[in-house]
Structure 1
Amino acid sequence: MRTTDDLADDLATAVEGDEIFAVYQPQVSLESGSIAAAEALCRWSHPRLGEIDPATMIEVAERSGAIHALGRRMLDEGLEALTEWREMGRDWAVAVNVSPVQFEEESFARHVADEFTRRGVPPGSLVLELTVDLQPGEERTVLPQLRMLHGTGVEISLAGYGAAAPSLEHLERLPLTEVKLPGELVRAAEGPALALLRDRVEVARAHGLRVIAEGIETLTHLDSAVQLGCDRAQGFLIRHPDSEIVFP
């Protein structure tokens, strides 16, 4: 059985090869029904162990420091996909997940800004997605770079909104463009739970933020997203993540 240290060594090598790749899950506008963006999701196909659980991969990457190289790889993959979409006349945005650990590199924000400038893609078509469990100590390293990126037009997304108390506090402190409701909350949105989540959506909307419902698996879930007043939705009902970047 391979240990976490073994996986860390494997991951450091994998980032440089073809074991790491992106799959894309589209987000559709609930108003028009058309694709507005796609989230780039990182996958690791280990030559002996098969596909590694994404949560395990990120944990190993953050603890080993490989998250920096992995993050740059995913940014490159996302921007390359964005370039191809635009060449095909697809005016979509791409969302790339980022870890607070990546912001420990003072050059992180500048690297992101330089990359989308070099590729000639509009800043508003790149979304960086953070998770809601941002710690106070991490905010000191993350906030200045987020503000710099936001100032250049990069959009900032907060995943996990509504699932924890810090969610509402982050609306005040972070330079956000959108928030994402976790699938488990949307799928459980009935009765009082629906009313509570709708209140949180209204708070986000009052801050001028776009709201995305994740984890949409059935038409009932999609109806809940509409009742909540969400702007976009993503999930298996709409499309499973796919390595192909050409969506109908």
Structure 2
Amino acid sequence: MEDLADDLASAVGGPEIFAVYQPQVSLESGSVVAAEALCRWRHAQLGDIDPVTMIGVAERTGAIHALGRRMLDECFDKLAEWRGTGRDWAVAVNVSPVQFEDESFARHVADEFARRALAPGSLVLELPHDPPSIDDGSVRTQLRTLREIGVEISLAGSDGRSPSLELLDRLPVAEWKLPGHLVRSVDGDARAELRAQVESAQGRGLRVVAEGIETLTHLDVAVALGCDRAQGFLIREPDSEIEFP
């Protein structure tokens, strides 16, 4: 792992690290409205490194700060590219709670957001459901700073669980993501309960996105739950380019 850490530190500034994008579609219109940027590492000797391994190494060694800024720059550049071709899409990017240990993180995002004159909601920062780290007071302060300038905050589920609605009440969140495992397996009474949670989130003014949509059945479940958006392999696998009209 030490060698991998050294390799990652060297790779952050080069072509081994790159972003792929997975579209999100509106379940009302069927149109692409956003895309999630996913970080990939194609190691020169080892090939594709599992993203979970990559993020784990980055968080443990502190490389997550440089990696996170690299991904943000990629997202800003992609937004500019889309605007230039008439695509009014938003881009979402995963953010590690560790990145908020850098007190300049929110200010850097805010400065870039303003410098590029981005529209409110065009950048979405997606946080994992990890209450001990994201419910910290200093993290909440930075999230409020970001929300005030128009950056949207998304909270994603993990381990087959959706984020708690109580946590959503304490954070300036604009989007609630349902994990793919939950969307694909929910049935019966559990589906009715999850639909109630979706309605409760929407009642709080949140957008609900179902991820991990792999089949038409999964898509039907997302629609039945009342979700606003969906993403997954059925819609499009992550790619470096999105050739949607």
Q: Please state how far the C-alpha of 1:136 moved relative to its aligned partner.
A: 5.4
**SS at structure 2 position matched to 1:153:** coil
Compared with structure 1, are the counterparts of its residues 67 and 136 closer, same or farther at alpha carbon in structure 2 (3 Å cutoff)? Answer: closer
Which ranges in structure 2 are unaligned for 5 or more consecutive residues? none
Q: Percent identity?
A: 71
Pairing 1:83–2:80 present: yes
Which ranges in structure 1 are unaligned for 5 or more consecutive residues? none
Pairing 1:148–2:145 present: yes
Compared with structure 1, are the counterparts of its residues 180 and 18 closer, same or farther at alpha carbon in structure 2 (3 Å cutoff)? Answer: same
Q: Please state how far the C-alpha of 1:147 moved relative to its aligned partner.
A: 0.3
**Residues 21 and 239, structure 2, Cα contact 8 Å, conserved in 1:** yes
Task: Name the residue aligned to 1:173.
Answer: 170
Amino acid at match of 2:153: I
Task: Name the residue aligned to 1:159.
Answer: 156
RMSD between aligned alpha carbons? 1.6
Task: Name the residue aligned to 2:181.
Answer: 184
Deviations 1:46-88 (A, max 9, x none): 0011000001100000000000000000000111111100111
**Residues 178 and 208, structure 2, Cα contact 8 Å, conserved in 1:** yes
Amino acid at match of 1:185: L
Task: Name the residue aligned to 2:131.
Answer: 134
**SS at structure 1 position matched to 2:217:** helix
Q: Which moved more, 1:107-116 or 1:160-169?
A: 160-169
Task: Name the residue aligned to 1:216.
Answer: 213
Q: Please state how far the C-alpha of 1:226 moved relative to its aligned partner.
A: 0.3
Partners in 2 of 1:162 and 1:201 — Cα distance?
18
**Residues 155 and 163, structure 2, Cα contact 8 Å, conserved in 1:** no
Residue correspondences, number: 245
Task: Name the residue aligned to 1:122.
Answer: 119
**SS at structure 1 position matched to 2:121:** helix
Amino acid at match of 2:197: R
Compared with structure 1, are the counterparts of its residues 88 and 166 closer, same or farther at alpha carbon in structure 2 (3 Å cutoff)? Answer: closer
Partners in 2 of 1:129 and 1:67 — Cα distance?
15
Q: Please state how far the C-alpha of 1:151 moved relative to its aligned partner.
A: 0.6
Partners in 2 of 1:165 and 1:94 — Cα distance?
22
Partners in 1 of 2:224 and 2:185 — Cα distance?
13
Task: Name the residue aligned to 2:238.
Answer: 241
Deviations 1:195-247 (A, max 9, x none): 12112111211111000000000000000000000000000000000011443
Task: Name the residue aligned to 1:18.
Answer: 15
Task: Name the residue aligned to 1:58.
Answer: 55
**SS at structure 1 position matched to 2:164:** helix
Q: Please state how far the C-alpha of 1:190 moved relative to its aligned partner.
A: 1.4
Amino acid at match of 2:99: Q
Q: TM-score, normalised by structure 2?
A: 0.96
Task: Name the residue aligned to 1:9.
Answer: 6
Q: Please state how far the C-alpha of 1:181 moved relative to its aligned partner.
A: 0.2
**Residues 162 and 168, structure 1, Cα contact 8 Å, conserved in 2:** no
